[in-house]
Structure 1
Amino acid sequence: MTDLLELASLGLSALGILLFCVLWLMHLMSIVYVRLHLHRKHPEAKAPYGELAAVSLLKPLKGVDPNLIDNLETFFTLDYPQYEILLCVQDHDDPAIDVCKKLLGKYPNVDARLFIGGKKVGINPKINNLMPGYEGAKYNLVWICDSGIKVKPDTLTDLANQMTEKVGLVHGLPYVADRQGFAATLEQVYFGTSHPRSYISANVMGIICVTGMSCLMRKDVLDQAGGLITFAQYIAEDYFMAKAIADRGWKFSMATQVAMQNSGSYSIAQFQLRMIRWAKLRINMLPATIVEPISECFVAGLIISWAAHHLFRWDIMVFFMCHCLAWFIADYIQLRGIQGGALPFSKLDYAVAWFIRESLAVHIFLSALWDPTVSWRSGRYRLRCGGTAEEILDL
C-alpha cells in the first residue's frame, strides 16, 4: 500500500510539473505574440487602398450609455473606400434610435441605414436584433461589432488586410480603453493579463477561441452554414459561428489592433457578473473547462509548489511566493505590450487590481457552477450542455 501511495504521489507530482511547463509556455507564447503582432504594421500584407473589399458593418444596439454616441461616431469616420453601416435596434422605444438618427443626419454622405424591430428567429437576442440588417447586407464581408467598441480610422483597413484568400474570419483581441476609476483598472488588468494569455495561446495552437466583439467574416461561408439564423439557438453565437467557418476549411486571423471596449457603464459588480456569465457559457459549451481553475495563478501555484516539494524537497512557501512573483511580472510585461504604451494607472494600482482579480477567480468559477441560468440583456436563459439554451419566461 505504501508503494502504491508513493507511486500515486510521484504521478501527481509529475502532473504538477507538466502543469508548470504548460502554463509558462502559455505565458511565453502570449508575450511573444503580443510583441510580434499587436500594434504593428505589416506592409507586405497590405492591399492597395482601392482594392480593399467592400464591407457591411452590422451594429447591434440596445440602450444608451454615456459613451455610446462617441463610440458609434468613430464608425462613421472610418478611412475605408467602400462600406455600409447597418444600425440594428430591437425595440421601437429604445433611446439608441435617437442617437442613430442624430449621426445619420450628421453624416449624410456615409452609406448607413437604421433597422428597427429585429426578427425573432431564436433565443439569442443579439441574433434576433441583427437579422434584418444581415438580410439587407449588400457585401460579402460582414463585420459584426458590438455597441461598446471604439475604433480608429484605419481599424477596418487593418481587419481587411488580414482577410487573405484562405482566411474566413478576422477577430480582434478584446481590450479596454483608458477610463477613470478602480473598476476600469480591474477590467483593464483582466483583459491585459489572464484573458489574452488563454485567448492568444488557444489561437496560436489552433483551438477555436473567438469573441464576437469585433469579427469580420465571409457572408457566403456563413450562408453555407445556414446563415445567421442557424446560430440563434445559442447564447455564445460567436463560438459556433467560428466553429462553422473552421469546419468548412477556413483559417482565422487576429487583427493587429485590439477590439477596444469603451462602455460608459461599468463597476466591480458588473465585472463580476460578466465574468460569471462567461464562465457559465464556457462550462456548458466545453465541459472540459471544469479544470479551468488550475490555470489560475494561486491554485496552480499551490499544486506546482507541492509537486516541487515532493520531487525536489524545495520549500513550499518559498516556491509559491517565487511562482506568484514571476507570474505577476510576466502579466505586467504582457499588459504593457497589449496597451502599446504607458499604462493609465500606477504600479500600485496594478498590484492591487491584479491581486483582487486573481483572488476572485475561484469564486467566479464556483458561482458559475452553482447556478446554470444566465441573465443577458433583458432576458434570462437556462443553459444546456452543448451551448444551447432556453429562455426563462416570467409567469
Structure 2
Amino acid sequence: MFSFPKNPVFAPVLFIYLFIIFYKSCACSRLHLNKKTTEKVPYSKLAGVSLLKPLKGVDPNLINNLETFFELDYPKYEILLCVQDHDDPAIDVCKKLLGKYPNVDARLFIGGKKVGINPKINNLMPAYEGARYELVWICDSGIRVKPDTLTDMANQMTEKVGLVHGLPYVADRQGFAATLEQVYFGTSHPRSYISANVTGIKCVTGMSCLMRKDILDQAGGLIAFAQYIAEDYFMAKAIADRGWKFSMATQVAMQNSGSYSIAQFQSRMIRWAKLRINMLPATIIEPISECFVASLLIGWAAHHVFRWDIMVFFLCHCLAWFISDYIQLRGVQGGPPSFSKLDYAVAWFIRESMTIQIFLSALWDPTISWRAGRYRLRCGGTAEEILDV
C-alpha cells in the first residue's frame, strides 16, 4: 500500500520552488513578451541573415506560413528552402512562392545530404553549406511570422549574445485540439521555459533560433550534431560552452500547423518526454512539479503540520494553480485568449490529467517515431535508426 513519506520538509521546499517559477514566468511574460523592441542597431546596419527552412510534406497552412517569410521587413536576408525527397509536394509550394516573389533572395535545395541519423540536419546540410550571411536562422515549417519578427530577433543579437530564440506558442485556430495545444504552450511549457532562462539556465527549443554561423562552424558545423535527435539542445550547449549568452525574442515562435489533433499532441508530448529523460536523467522527478501531484504532496504536508484537511487544501491549491496559469496564458498571448473561460477550464483539466500517462508512456518505450523514421534513444542524447528488415 502507498504511504506518504514521514518527513514533510520536502513539500514546503517544493511549494517555495513552484511559487518562484510561477512568479518569474508570469512577470517575464508581462514585462518582456509582446513588447515593441528597442532599436539597438540601426535598421540599415542589421546583420545579414540566412534563413534555413526544413520542409517535409504539405499541410493546409503551409503556403500561408511560408509566405510570411517572403514578406519580412528586413534589409538583408536570404531564404533557403530545404526539401529532402524529390517527390515531396512541398516542392510545388516552394516553386509557387519563388515565382510570386522574384525580388526576394530565395533558393530551393532538394535532396539533402546524409551526414547522420537526424533527418532535419540531413535536409538542411546543403543549404547550410551554401549560406552567405553571418547569422543563421533555423525555423520550422509550421511557424508563421510578422513582418518585424526577424528585426526583433536581430536586435536581441547584441555583442555577447550567440543565440536568440523564440518562446514556442500556438496561433489561434479552430477546434478543441487547438485549444488544448494553446493552453499547454501558454501555461505549463512557458512556466518552465521562461523561469529557466530568467534563472540563467539555457533552455531552448529549435523551432525558431537565430545563431552566429561562425560559432557553429567552430563547433564543427551542423554535421557535428547529426548524431542527435534533439539537435537544438546540443547546438545551444555548444554555443553556451564557448562563453556566449542567449537572449529570448520579445515575439513568440508562433506555431500554425494546419494538421493537429489530440492524438498528435499526445504523441508529441511523449516524444519530448522521452528526449528529456534520455538527455537529462533528473527529468525522472518531473511529475512532482505537475499540478495534481504537487498539490497532493503539499496538501499532505499542510495536514501533517497544521492539521488542515488534505482534500480541501488540494482543491484550493489546484484552484490557485488554475488561476495562475490563466494569468500566464494571457501574458504569453498578449491579451485574452480567443476561446472562452469554460474551454480553458476543460482543456486545462484534460492537459493536467494527461501528464502522468504521458510520462509513464515515455518510460515504457525508449524508441521514438519522428518524420519518416523510427529511432532508438541512447543515454546521453545519441540515437540509432531502426531500419525495417
Query: What TM-score do the two structures reach when normalised by structure 2?
Result: 0.98
- Amino acid across the alignment from 1:183: A
**Structure 1 residue 186 and structure 2 residue 183: aligned?**
no
Residues 65, 143 of structure 2: 8 Å contact kept: yes
Q: Quick check: 1:242 aligned with 2:241?
A: no
Aligned-partner residue type, residue 247 of structure 2: S
Q: C-alpha offsets along residues 105-136 of structure 1, whole Å, 9 cap, x if unaligned?
A: 00000000000000000000000000000000
Distance (Å, rounded) in 2 between the aligned partners of 1:108 and 1:144: 22
RMSD of equivalent CA atoms: 1.1
Equivalence for 2:154: 160
1:122 aligned to 2:119?
A: no
The aligned amino acid for 1:390 is E
Give 1:216's aligned amino acid: L
The counterpart of 1:29, out of the listed 18, 24, 33, is: 24
Structure 2, unaligned stretches of length 5 or more? none
1:208 Cα offset (Å): 2.1
Q: Percent identity?
A: 84
Q: 1:9 aligned to 6, 13, 16, which one? A: 6
* SS of residue matched to 1:9: coil
Deviations 1:177-208 (A, max 9, x none): 00000000000000000000000111111212
1:229 Cα offset (Å): 0.3
- On the 8 A contact 1:208/1:239 being kept in 2, the answer is no
Which of 293, 312, 331 pairs up with 1:299? 293
> Partner residue of 1:363?
357
Q: State the distance in 1 between where 2:291 and 2:248 align.
A: 26
How many residues are matched?
A: 387
- Out of 247, 256, 265, which is 2:259 matched to? 265
Partner of 2:92, secondary structure, is helix
Distance between the aligned counterparts of 1:209 and 1:238, measured in 2? 10
The more displaced of 197-206 and 247-256 is 197-206
- Counterpart in 2 of 1:348? 342
**One-letter code aligned to 2:148:** D
Choose which of 35, 40, 44 in structure 2 pairs with 1:50: 44
Shift of 1:308: 1.1
Q: Matches of 2:312 and 2:267 in 1, distance apart?
A: 34
Paired with 2:145 and 2:40, the residues of 1 have a C-alpha distance of 19
Query: Residue 142 of structure 2: which of 137, 144, 148 is its match?
Result: 148
2:215 maps to 221
**Distance of 1:85 and 1:42 partners within structure 2:** 23
Runs (4+) off by over 6 Å: none
Choose from 380, 383, 386 the match for 2:380. 386
TM-score by length of 1: 0.97
Q: Output the CA distance in 1 between the equivalents of 2:82 and 2:37.
A: 33
Cα distance in 1 for partners of 2:331, 2:192 equals: 16
Unaligned 5+ segments in structure 1 are none
The 5-angstrom pairing of residues 200-219 of structure 1 reads 200-219=194-213
